[in-house]
Chains A and B, each alone.
Chain A
Amino acid sequence: DAGVIQSPRHEVTEMGQEVTLRCKPISGHDYLFWYRQTMMRGLELLIYFNNNVPIDDSGMPEDRFSAKMPNASFSTLKIQPSEPRDSAVYFCASSLRGGIEKLFFGSGTQLSVL
Chain B
Amino acid sequence: GEDVEQSLFLSVREGDSSVINCTYTDSSSTYLYWYKQEPGAGLQLLTYIFSNMDMKQDQRLTVLLNKKDKHLSLRIADTQTGDSAIYFCAESDRSNDYKLSFGAGTTVTVRA
Interface size of B in residues (CB-CB distance below 8 Å): 23
B7 to chain A, nearest CB (A): 14
Q: Is the CB of A48 within 8 A of B99?
A: yes
**1/0 per position for A85-108, CB-CB distance to B under 8 A?**
000000101000011101111111
Q: Among the listed A56, A99, A106, A108, which residue makes an inter-chain contact with B92, where contact means beta carbons less than 8 Å apart?
A: A99
CA distance A52 to B52 in the complex (A): 33
Judged by a CB distance under 8 angstroms, whether A18 is at the interface is: no
- Count A/B pairs, Cβ under 8 Å: 56
Q: Is the CB of A4 within 8 A of B100?
A: no
List, in ascending order, chain B residues with CB within 8 A of A107's CB: 40-42
Judged by a CB distance under 8 angstroms, whether B59 is at the interface is: no
Minimum CB distance partner of A40 in chain B: B104
Q: Is the CB of A31 within 8 A of B98?
A: yes
A24 to chain B, nearest CB (A): 13
Minimum CB distance partner of B42 in chain A: A105
Q: Among the listed B30, B42, B45, B100, which residue makes an inter-chain contact with A45, where contact means beta carbons less than 8 Å apart?
A: B100
Interface size of A in residues (CB-CB distance below 8 Å): 22
Per the 8 Å Cβ criterion, residues 57-104 of B in contact with A are 88, 92-93, 96-104
Residue with the greatest number of chain B CB neighbours at <10 A, chosen from A42, A43, A44, A56: A43
B26 to chain A, nearest CB (A): 13
Per the 8 Å Cβ criterion, residues 1-51 of A in contact with B are 4, 31, 42-45, 48, 50
List, in ascending order, chain A residues with CB within 8 A of B43's CB: 43, 91, 93, 103, 105
Residue with the greatest number of chain A CB neighbours at <10 A, chosen from B100, B104, B105: B100
Q: Is the CB of B42 within 8 A of A99?
A: no
Judged by a CB distance under 8 angstroms, whether B44 is at the interface is: yes
Interface residues of A (CB under 8 A from B): 4, 31, 42-45, 48, 50, 55-56, 91, 93, 98-100, 102-108
Enumerate 6 A-B pairs (CB-CB under 8 Å) in ascending A order: A45-B101, A98-B98, A99-B33, A99-B97, A105-B44, A107-B42
